[in-house]
Structure 1
Amino acid sequence: MKGRAVKLREAHKAGSGSPAFCSVAWAPGGQHVVTASAADVAILIHDAAAVSAGGTGARGSGSAAAAATIRLHKDGVTAVALAPGSGGSLASGSIDHSVKFYSFPDGTFQSNVARFTLPIRSLAFNKKGALLAAAGDDDGIKLIATVDNTISKVLKGHKGSVTGLAFDPKNDYLASIDSFGTVIFWDLCLGSEARSLTRVAPTFGSDHSVKNTLCWSPDGHTLAVPGLRNNVVMYDRDTAEEVFTLKGEHEQPICSLCWSPNGRYLATAGLDRQVLVWDVKSRQDIERQKFDERICSMAWKPEDNAIVLIDVMGKFGVWESVVPSTMKSPTEGAPELNLPRVPLFDDEDEEEKPSTSAGFDDEIDESLGDSAPFNHKRSRRKATFDDHMNGDSEEEDMIHEMQSGKRTKGRHKDNKEGARKAMDDSATSGRLVTARMQAAFQPGSTPSHPGKRNFLAYNMLGSITTIENEGHSHVEVDFHDTGRGPRVPSMTDYFGFTMAALNESGSVFANPCKGDNNMSTLMYRPFSSWAGNSEWSMRFEGEEVKSVALGAGWVAAVTSLNFLRIFTEGGLQMHILSVSGPVVTVAGQGDQLAIVTHASDCLPSGDQVLDVKVFNITEGAQSMSGRLVLTPSSQLSWFGFSENGQLSSYDSKGILRVFSGQFGGSWLPVFSQPRQENLKMKATGWWV
């Protein structure tokens, strides 16, 4: 079948007549269309009614009228994205390496969001519009918290230019694709790579007039990716396994695709200048159009049976009545993902002022509703030492909870009743509905934020801090008491420090390898030999160090293989033990080494199940073993020894506990810390 031919009208002039990548997007509600071209510095906001009626504008007869024009980039615009909800925002990326925000639909400039060192190729907002992903020729995908324009995370894993980004509608994953055809699923809860599919899509090399792209189905079940055989491959959201393929009349690779609002239909554009519309259920193409030039970008109109398209010469138009009237409407039964999605935070958080902290908490902040306008002017924030060391700070609490958000694999049907039941079940917990096993952490360190100093270790003797700059970590070790030794000069480590421990005698034990799962390096430097620059280091193949600790004459590290390695200060390995589960953290003082591990997966209520063991290194004996007590639905925020040697823990609910020999051994709650007060924690003790 073939419907009425689609007429395209000029929106952007092609530079020197050469093809260039052009972008097009429907605004939420479908009242406006946004276009941009890599050969033009202008971003055009069109009235959708005028576009459909074939209106003319300043560019001459047959050209499309623009309701607003933005000319703030210094070079061609390579990507545009619109935040969900009315009164939202427009983001643009350019060859000039910048990402900018504008109010919408008037196009008033709001702020410069981020600078890259190379051109931008792709932008995407998450479902709430609270997180923007930006990527291109640079090494890394930047996740930008729109509440204050800070960079929440940089995701690194691609070897080529990242040309496509798409957030899972359920906010569990970000999918990305590069010019080499590699697709990566990023876990948004952990901020790390979940799965990688190598070279599963076409390779376009240095031709920037076409790019790999991908798109989630509206229900979030599958990810559509252009295949290597001029087809479309569907991948499962949780396993990244191939589910099925769509193979039709495309004679060359597919370079653009978009889903209908209900996910029943998929439109694909290929290098053969064809656009096909598929009935995904029957896996047959039901409509097609042939164009004079390649269609490089498409978008299905929200809640309607129409697609807007733009070609590599900057001409665009609307394909009306895409799906024949004899078939099921493309909007019938469209999923309402806002209803079943269970919030990770209490309703009371919705009334609070949005946090300006840079973290994954911004992406699901319920205070940023779909209908709320966004203010992208950067908020000034004072980062003090107390803020960093606050064990119950809002920022640290949210980050820990985001790390514990658990996916339920294989669940492909969301319903309102299930969501309500989950919220009811979580009423007693006050925070998390479901939880993931919390990741390992280093006691005394603070979450890393780009451009800000991060504390790796701190005690009464001194501190270790680091700040990242252009991929390098500038590390400093400072001693508070200058009479005990010289201030150690700063150093730059090309791998970056992920964790460090500092004991009362001034010895430093660190893991300077960041994110290298094939090899991990440990470095130890005793206080007495700083002047002589003495140290020892050790590397482990196939192991990643998760947490480190120091004691009297020994150093210890727990790795991803659940090995506990104990060394002398000279670097000789004294003991190697297998621990019972994935490590959470480890702490040392004197002869005592305490380790916390997961005893099992989280309970349905969201509770962490943790075990704690204490070893006496000198005697080679285990002095304590049992379950670590936590407040329901909380996570362990800090763990270590007090100054008088009592084992202590602090959870994300603000409860500080110490272990006592009373009643055969029990955890005694010392106090509950109010959120607004400032609790200072340190590696070898605590005080209020």
Structure 2
Amino acid sequence: MATTTQIRLRGRPAHTAGPTFLSYTPDGTKLTTVGSNNTIRVYKTNLLDGEPSNVDDCQEQNMAVASTNDFFVSGAEDGTVSLYSFDTMSFDKFLMRCSLPVRDITISRDGKWCAVGSDDLIVKIVQTADTSSVMYLRDQIKPVKHIAFDPSSKYIALSCTDGLVYVYSLANDEPELVKKIDGLIRTVETDSEISAKVAWHPDGRAFAAPTATRDIQVMSRGDWENQRVFSNGHMGDITALSWSPNGAMLASAGKDRKILIWETKIQKVIASYDYANVMDLAWHPTKNLLSFTNSDGEVYIFNDFVPAEHAHLVNLSPQPAPFIHDPLSEISANARRPAANGHKDVPLRVRRGTPDSLDDILGSELGDEDDFVIDDDGAGYALGINGNGKRPNGDIVPYGGAAKRLAPAWEPQYHQSFQPGSTPWRGDRKYLCLNLIGFVWTVDQDTHHTVTVEFYDHEEFRDFHFTDTFLYDKACLNENGTLFSSKANDTNPATIFYRPHETWTTRSDWRTQLPKGEDVTAISLSESFVTVTTTSNYVRIYTLFGVPYRVYRQKSSPTVTCASWRDYVLTLGNGPVGADGNTKLLYTIQNIKRDEICQSEDIVALPDGETVKSVFWSDNGDPCIYDSTGTLLTLLHWRTPSQATWVPLLDTRLLSRLASGRKTETYFPVAVASSKFHCIILKGGEQYPYFPRPLLSEFEFEIPLSNTPSAQTEDGDAGGDETKKLEGAYVLKSILTSQQQDLVEFTKSSHSQRTALARMEVEIDKTLLQMMAVECREGEERGMRALEMVNLLRDRSGRMLEAAGKVAERYGRGVLGEKIREVAEERLLRMDED
């Protein structure tokens, strides 16, 4: 409930009537105000009722001010940008001069750079210590009214008079425009009292801006999606807004003569004050104190600004930006571990490329002060992250752990849990499942979700959607039905829901709930069973119509994910900690119906520091994984205990489409079917597909044998390219034949499957003969290599050996022909002995 107070502070006449602005020093000891006259006021925070210090003989009509602990900078209507020293309380130097009035200035957190926005089209960023060092932002086509550095000073946002927001990256020597945002702010003139300023949230992952509808919209950086909105507050245009230093509150002022305090978490007004003509707001860095100025030249220093019933918000640790779905709270983005002291859901640092935890991102003071690393330039080095919220490429600590961290003790690094084929929340929607059957997606409507299931084959299946009050966050889809699961919340335990596509009874869908305190980490669906892995490390198996079939506790924990095919279930979990401090990822494959273990707690073959991005079964029933290196692997001989081997089928980094080096793209894995890798191509640094629904692409398998598909032999001969292609085809066909052979030997194979195996073995021999022909063509010195290929022939009837002899004869390789006849005689002799 908002508190409307009648408290009336006495405005301090700081300047003559006109636009007035203010700025706190980062340490909160001083408050600087500028206005229409040629005097600048500096108030000491510990002397709220004392007289300010004055800096006289300044430029008149100062339109902006920004402070560091040592100096402050003001910008005037005559275009001058001046730097003043707090030590001497006097003018130090001119930073720059603009040809038109200055409208806004901002200083980077480390105090090294000052950005200046004016009625000129170009924004200049000058180094405060060396005014000859200047960066220019040139892409905007209208004047800039507001500018704002993000907390890391790696990004800067410009609010232009045409209603566009330009966001530049300053990570490199040359600024780069990363996003032009339309439809967020309104069009407004540079001399208007109405604000269009972007206010970065203190955690740096989002910013807020006033909209034309008098609301305050939050937008996330990176995906540039609209997040939560602060609405139904002001009845007039917004003139100023500012986040509290910990991000727990937002203060805003409007033409409706109101100053409002919003609680960030719930986006509700918790206090309202009546003050007119407010132009600028500034929170004290540590105290329950807010100062503001108005167009009458007055400054107000409001002690105990947040009412007593909400004053605890001031002392909270850094709070997250108000996302619709915070990526940091997603299971797919945060690993969890059971702590030894009995506490659960403790965020762990996760593997490389993912922020450690919210406290790590926000720089919360955890652990011993002696271990604290000071981020003295605001660039995020103490946090171990760069401006994108990612670990730097040079970060030598695997799995994203930062060097010289606050962690007082060593911690093992766990592999995070994930749901194959799903994406994280992005704004108000996410994909729950993407495969070759169709896709399932959901939209957050605040009080409920709306789930849609769409199919590629509309002749076989019918699309459907429904209102979801259980808030399902995981799904699986196959030819038989759709499986959903939801997290536990205050009103409902974790829930499993299955809906078949067709039924001959009135109602056949079913829903079941997990025991209290147990949540779902992953689900899978086959034509025989429903599999659920949970936070209690249980694997729960149900029939397709909801009959509990088996429950057991997984040996490797915490659980990571699962995948199913017919009667087989593959589960992944964290195993023992290796020498590098990272847990080994273990997998188990079992036949549920026969209650047989095929592979038990075997290690998933991953390079150091890499992760599994997805796990699935191929259409022929072979386990596959896609890892963070962009490599697709399949499991050979998985039906024989202790004989399984992870074999690469494709390394997407070596695709010919990337050979030029000009194209940068990643791939979201979808399926392996028809001996092809099906995926979604992602461009522009994206990690997950988004809406509208992207198209599926497919790539042929290509065994990574050499650097590029066009690699030549050491001698640089013209036949090198053909040889490499044939070698790749030989290895690939051998792998696929091995999988087919296992299928025939360990199942009730059909005639067509056995015929396919025989055909595949013939294809291998044909490839070997082609390789042999290339060797013969290249010269007699290749004879021993050609004979080796003859020995690899699989045909027992002698037809292929006879064909090999004809190849040697065709190229005039007499000695090789004699050797081939000897091989044929030896094989015939062995056959007679058998």
Structure with the higher fraction of residues in helix conformation: 2
TM-score (norm 1): 0.48
* Larger Cα-atom Rg: 2
